[in-house]
Structure 1
Amino acid sequence: MKIETNAAGHLTIGGCDALTLAQQFGTPAYVYDVGQIRAQFRSFAKVFEAHGAKYAVSYASKAFATVAMYQVAAQENAHVDVVSGGELYTAQAAQFPMAHVSFHGNNKSKAELAQALEAHVGTIIVDNFHELDLLEGLLKLQEGRVQNILLRVTPGISAHTHAYDQTGQTDSKFGFDVDSGQAKAAATRALANPQLHLLGIHAHIGSQIFEVKGFVAAAQRLLAILTDWHDSLAFTPTVLNLGGGFGIAYTNADDPLPAEAFVAAILDTIAAADLPFDTPAIWIEPGRSIVGPAGYQLYTVGSRKDVPGLAPFVAVDGGMGDNIRPALYQADYEAVAAADPHAASTETVRLVGKYCESGDILIDQAKLPHLEAGAVVAVLATGAYGYSMASNYNRNPRPAVVFAENGQAKLVVRRESYADLTRNDLSYL
């Protein structure tokens, strides 16, 4: 895993000293290396351009959604996908170009769809017949309005990943089922409505995937579906969206392919297909692979508990409230001492949080040098689903978010205060 240091031997993030960041912004804190985010966007674009493909890299913003992140995505000429009215509102606040926004979700409300139409969202990715009913009803109120859509389908492809991260199999809450005929029925209905402009189809087979074969199988399956629709429905697709889910390295034991290698395999599969229509634009939706490796969480060590014969407990000033993934998914991470990230480990400890749960363990077997109270620890590759899944459990304020780039650090989300915690509370007296 990529670790950079300065002349003092301290961990650096985006050219900034991690100890200085901890002192300046406090801990716990989320810190992002913005240059690394930009580099990944550009790596994806480079693969598409080398293949001469029409494309869109649509950042899956559920991984990490803030005004600043949408602004960086816009600077990199990316698209974004949103999954809620809140994410859409944040993109609007960032003045992200709405034509490059896709709206996902398996239970979009009527209000959210109305918000999307009012914002002139570029593409709505329709997930089910209920949503199709709602969208058609709203469009009837806007004579002459035409909305671009994709149909999300479940192609029957299962990813080799955590059960909670699998989304492409038939037994999934997402999308129109292909084998039962739901997807084709939805396409028939959409094509019959002049207010719906069907661009193509979308599928997402899962998250944190290390093998290309699932994506190759999905591409082949989706092309077969589109060929059938072309022949039987006279439909010519202009977009094929293969979702995201490209795996990243959370620990040195992880050995994923470079994220762009998944894209190359997808493009090679499509290029080899004998299609009765021109190759559509290929869209992908990377989230974790864009921001995950670029993110760090800085903590300060507090208490320590030593019991003979057991691994010590070393507690930090955050935990499951700012990173729920270890408790939710049994996710693994690695940590380093910010003062000397290359220091030899001298003990294996349980790096735990401050929350009132026995399961509040960030790293069950963290190999670290001996750390005294007050030491700053950096947990690596935490850029995806840390801040976005953070909570106020135990009435703890959510941490600050800092962007670091070219040796400059900027606060992009203020740390919550205790006053923020009661801002929406109302007295019963």
Structure 2
Amino acid sequence: MNLTKLPGTMTINTEDHLTIGGIDTVLLADKYQTPLFVYDIALIRERCREFKETFERKQINAQVAYASKAFSCLAIYQLMAQEGMSLDVVSGGELYTAIQAGFPSEKIHFHGNNKTMTEINAALDYQIGCFVVDNFNELNLLNQLASKKEVIVKILLRVTPGVEAHTHNYISTGQEDSKFGFDLMNGQAEQAAIQAIEMSNVDLIGLHSHIGSQIFESDGFLMAIDKLLSKTIDWQNTFGFKLSVLNLGGGFGIRYTEEDQPLAIPELMESIIDEVILKTTELGVEMPEIWLEPGRSLVGDAGTTLYETGSQKEVPNVRNYLAVDGGMSDNIRPALYDAKYTGVLANRVTEQPTETYSIAGKCCESGDMLIWDLPLPKVQEANILAVFSTGAYGYSMASNYNRIPRPAVVFVENSTDFLAIRRETYVDVMQLDIPFPTE
């Protein structure tokens, strides 16, 4: 990590400690214990405003929805509501949490490739703003359930435009061979649009496309825009389809290591907006409202995980292992995606590295490795290791593997810390267990 370009409100204080939101991370680790997720709230607010202000500056009608699978809890939903965001949920649990947080239901969009009847009924009862319909089963079921409740619901059709983003295979979603959406090229999307228009209890307002995650260039988005708008002009001419909303999803990349070079949000947004304007003008169609769904790019590099270092193992002429008190139970991404991270000793930030360590988690798996080959000062006693950019898909994918309690989550802003999620206890981990019956 380039210490001259620390993200957000991160600084280094006179004690050579890393600070976030004006608070010493060593003090946070002492107060809340480790592992600990720390979120820089000022940075999240800044990112939300960058998205929204770009649309406002270009005078484009838009909705920016937080893709909350990246990280969901009451407090983050309330923060997003404060910032005037919309919300993307993908399960009944996320939906329930959003409603409990008081999030405006009319600004909630419900995604997912296998929404259950219970989930759909709940969303209808909450009167959410929009369903993003993923398949024919859902389209028919939604129309039936809406009919029973005598309501008409707004929908987008999720389509796969045949654009494959330059990303990991597990997080590419816009190509033809995907579990998500109606395929644009083989006629499924057109068939779904015709069926939706003929249905009495759904109102098809537009299309949704999500081409992948951790994307660093605009080319994939521009290709998707061209394909979607070219197709919809055909549909408009043949069966009267009207594109009121064009949802281009999310997937905007962030910097995990120095090798990552994401585009600035305003630059990326402007290229997307300009392409929609250009293409609609060229085709002679009305400019649709643009929706986006950033998740990682709002919270990813705003999150930092603090660990305490523990045991070490030296394999001569191979590597030095340095273990921490967390691992794949709070960050599965290195094991799942071969995701790369970097970090520093939060209590010795500017001290020159003299050793190279491979950071091992404490789970009973050889694959529980957080960072390979991290340069650090020599570690001879317990230190606080800060791993950067863990705000997306860290806590949200955390587990109780090995019966390890999930960490606490703390929000920091303007020198104030707020406990957003308390640390689990062993009692919490056992709370659903039922003793085996005895005679």
TM-score normalized by structure 2?
0.96
User: Which of 320, 330, 350 matches 1:322?
Assistant: 330
Distance in 2, matches of 1:278 and 1:194, equals: 25
The SS at the match of 2:176 is: coil
Q: Provide the secondary structure at the position in 1 that maps to 2:226.
A: helix
One-letter code of the match for 1:306?
A: E
CA shift at 1:257, angstroms?
A: 1.0
- Structure 1: how far apart are the matches of 2:350 and 2:245? 46
Structure 1 residues without counterparts, runs of 5 or longer: none
Pairwise CA distance, 1:7: 2.9
Rounded Cα–Cα distance in structure 2 between residues aligned with 1:260 and 1:62 = 23
Tell me the distance in 2 between the aligned counterparts of 1:327 and 1:285: 26
**Aligned match of 2:259:** 253
Are residue 186 (structure 1) and residue 227 (structure 2) matched? no
Equivalent residue in structure 1 for 2:293, among 278, 285, 290? 285
State the secondary structure of the residue aligned to 2:155: strand
Asked if 1:128 corresponds to 2:138, the answer is: no
Q: CA deviation at 1:91?
A: 0.5
When structure 1 is superposed on structure 2, of 31-40 and 338-347 the one drifting more is: 338-347
What does residue 302 of structure 2 align with?
A: 294
What amino acid does structure 2 have at the position aligned with 1:108? K
Match of 2:273 in 1: 267
Counterpart of 1:370, as a letter, is K
Alpha-carbon distance, 1:228 to partner: 1.6
Q: CA deviation at 1:262?
A: 2.0
| 1:340 Cα deviation from its structure 2 partner | 2.7
Distance 1:289 1:96 in 2: 21
1:57 aligns with 2:42: no
State the distance in 1 between where 2:377 and 2:212 align.
36
Alignment partners' CA distance in 2, 1:164 and 1:139: 34
Are 2:355 and 1:347 equivalent residues in the alignment?
Answer: yes
Question: What is the SS of the residue equivalent to 1:194?
Answer: coil
Secondary structure at the aligned position of 1:179 is classed as coil
Deviation for aligned residue 1:239: 0.7
Amino acid at match of 2:40: D
In structure 1, what is the equivalent of residue 206 of structure 2? Answer: 200
Percent identical: 51
CA distance in structure 2 between the partners assigned to 1:190 and 1:241 by the alignment: 17
Q: Which residue in the other structure is 2:414 paired with? A: 406
Counterpart-to-counterpart distance in 2, 1:214 and 1:140: 38
Q: Distance in 1 between matches of 2:85 and 2:336?
A: 30
Per-residue CA distance 1:263-307 (angstroms, 9 max, x = gap): 211111111122433201100110000000100000001111123
Supply the distance in 1 between the matched residues of 2:30 and 2:138 (Cα, whole angstroms): 48
Write the mapping of 1:12-411 to structure 2, written as runs, cut at 5 A.
12-143=19-150, 145-273=151-279, 274-411=282-419
Q: Aligned partners of 1:91, 1:198: CA distance in 2, in Å?
A: 24
Equivalent position amino acid for 1:241 in 2: N
> Does 50-59 or 198-207 show the bigger shift?
50-59
Give, in whole Å, the separation in 2 of the partners of 1:423 and 1:301.
29
Q: Distance in 1 between matches of 2:14 and 2:107?
A: 42
Deviations 1:338-380 (A, max 9, x none): 1132222111110111110011100011111112332101000
Q: What is the alpha-carbon distance in structure 2 between the residues aligned to residue 227 and residue 294 of structure 1?
A: 40
Tell me, yes or no, if the aligned pair for 2:143 and 2:200 is still in contact at 8 Å: no
Q: Give 3-state SS (helix, strand or coil) of 2:123's partner.
A: helix
SS at match of 2:418: strand
Equivalents in 2 of 1:112, 1:174: separation in Å? 18
CA distance in 1, matches of 2:381, 2:425: 24
TM-fit CA distance, 1:261: 2.3
Provide Cα deviations, 1:80-116, integer angstroms capped at 9, x if missing partner. 1000001101101111001100000011111111111
Consecutive unaligned residues of structure 2, counting only runs of 5 or more, are none
Q: Residue 358 of structure 2 aligns to a residue in which SS?
A: strand
Using the alignment, how far apart are the partners of 2:103 and 2:380 within structure 1? 45
- Of 225-234 and 59-68, deviating more is 225-234
- 1:233 & 1:16 partners in 2: Cα distance? 59
